[in-house]
Structures are given as structure tokens and as C-alpha cells.
Amino acid sequence: QDLDKGLEKTRGSFFDKLSKAVAGKSKVDDDVLDNLEEILVTSDVGVDTTLKVIERIEARVEKDKYLNTEELNQILREEIAALMAENQSEDVEGFDIPEGKKPYVLMVVGVNGVGKTTTIGKLSAKFKANGKKVVLGAGDTFRAAAVDQLKMWGERTGVEVVAKGMNTDPSAVAFEAVKRGVEADADIIIIDTAGRLHTKVNLMNELSKIRRVMTKVIPDAPHEVMLVLDGSTGQNAVIQAREFTKATEVTSLAITKLDGTAKGGVVIGISDEFKIPVKYIGVGEGVDHLQAFNKAAFVDSLFK
Ligand code: GDP
């Protein structure tokens, strides 16, 4: 239900246009396909992914000779979901921690303002509620507000936060946090990082240094590197994803702020282009507004 509500704007714009495109038509013809292409592009699905979707629909039209517009919805759903990366987990709750990796180290990356700290806060609340012990590392040492905000989430959720002074080397914080997590017998250690995108080399060096120090405590850490993207920025989120995936190995995505934007189609394009599982989506500011992502449920919600 939260998902449907969160995607209201995207669905509104997408679905309205789609209904208009097929109004008065009984079969999918070139006209409908042209309109569909435009709708997908203006919904921030991205040009490349849009062309793939159109090609797939064309192939279906060809194969079935005659595709009526009522069938188009169903077929679009299938083809869009097929292009997207596999779901991270079959567990629809999505807030489980892989077995045999305790403490599990989750490193969170992304530029400032995308909702990184909020996502970490929401995650700690979820894990805590599931009876897991969480330790947070306030590695965004370049912004005083980031550290304070993480501490606030820590207090609110009853989770320990490892923090050091402003401008401390983020890797020092990461090291401390991982060490503390081991000592405290934590189930999961979540490390915040600074989101500075000054230069690619800078970002790359900083992230690899953070990764490197963690391995001194836990050799296979980090177990997961999650990139947080702000879905409401549409194609900007795509650009950030390109930069970060070049700078470091990203293994999961969280796409925030899908509520209040009509650009939710960007999730489809990102999932297709990077083939990195979208693990969570943010559909509001509250603790419960972080949802485990399921591509079928997401696509279905756009067509409701
Ligand atoms: P950071 O700089 O990346 O750590 O970003 P913050 O976590 O401070 O978030 C920036 C702003 O975005 C805050 O006002 C958050 O409440 C807001 N925010 C984060 N996620 C969501 C979301 O899913 N939906 C909405 N509407 N706001 C969000």
C-alpha cells in the first residue's frame, strides 16, 4: 500500500499518458509505439532502456501479428520486468542478513543529500526491530550535520554509533566502527561515507582506502557496498551511478525519494543499465518508508 502511495505521481503521469496513447485504438500500431516511446523517455526510463522495451514490444507485435491495446499493459509489464536486474532476495521483507557473515559489513556510498543518512537510520531501525545488533560508523566526517544526524538516529533507534571529530580520515572511523562491531558481537555494521564527487580519482582513492582498512579487521569486508541514489533527480541519478560504479564495486542500490516525483521510471533504466540489484526504495521520510524492492511489485504498481 505504501508502495502504491509512494509511486502515485509516477503512476499518475505514466498511466494517464499511456491511456491517452491507446485511446480509440484497438491494436498496437506504429502510432501507439511512437507514443509509448515518448512516454517512457519522459518518465525517465532512459533512452537506451526505452529503445529496448520498444524493440521487445515490436517483436511481440510481429510474432502475434495482431496485438490489441488491452494486452499491451500486460506485455509491457512483462518486458519491463525482464529487463531489470534480478531481485536481491526472495525474502520480500528484505531486511535479513546473510548467514555465516557475522558481523556483516555494509558500506553505504552516495553524494550528499540523496538520503544516505536517512536510509542508514531506517535500516538500523528495521534490523533492530528484527532483533539484530547494529553498530553504525559515522564516516561522513566532512559534514558536521551528517555525524549529528547519524547520532540522532542512533539515539532514536537505540543503536551504538562510532564517531570521531570533524575532518578525521573517514577510513579511521570505518576501522574503529568495524573493530567495535566485532567486539560488541554485532550482527551488522553499517558504515556511512562522505559523498564528495570532486574528482573521480579522489573518490576512487577515498573509497578504496576505506575498504582497505576494513579488511584489516574482517578480511572479506565490506560484504556489501550500497549506492544510494535520489530518484527524484531522474537522469542525474543515472550519472551518479556511472561515476560510483567506475570508482568502486557497487553491489546493491537504494533509490530514495520516489514519493513526490514523477520520475520513478528511472528505477527501470538504472536497473537495466547497471544490472545491480535495487535492494531498497525510499517512499517517504518515515522509518517505515524504506521498502525492500521487488521488481514485479514495482512494475505492477505503475500499471494499477
Ligand atoms: P544525505 O546527505 O545523503 O545523508 O541525505 P539525508 O539522509 O540527510 O536526506 C536528505 C533529505 O532527504 C532529508 O530531509 C530526508 O528526510 C529526505 N529523504 C530521505 N529519503 C527520503 C525519501 O525516501 N522520501 C522523501 N520524501 N524524503 C527523503
Nearest partner of 284 among 255, 256, 246, judged by Cα? 256
pLDDT band at 200 (very low <50, low <70, confident <90, very high): confident
Closest ligand 1 atom number to CA of residue 122:
20
**Does pLDDT of 132 surpass 60?**
yes
**What integer is the mean pLDDT of 157-167?**
93
**What integer is the mean pLDDT of 194-219?**
87
Is ligand 1 within 6 A of the CB of residue 55? no
Pairing of strands 290-292, 278-282: antiparallel
Closest ligand 1 atom number to CA of residue 284:
24
One DSSP character per residue, 230-251 reads: EGGGTHHHHHHHHHHHHHS---
Q: Whose CA is nearest to atom 16 of ligand 1?
A: 285
Q: Which residues pair with 106 in a beta bridge?
A: 190, 224
ipTM of the complex: 0.98
Cell of 45: 526510463
Euclidean distance between CA atoms 54 and 45, whole angstroms: 12
**Does pLDDT of 90 surpass 70?**
no
Distances (CA, A) of 287 to 138, 153, 156, 162, 290: 19, 10, 11, 21, 7
The 10s digit of each residue's pLDDT in 230-280 is 999 999 999 999 999 999 999 999 999 999 899 999 999 999 999 999 999
Cell of 228: 544510494
Contact indicator for 264, 250 with CB cutoff of 8 Å: no
Is ligand 1 within 6 A of the CB of residue 116? yes
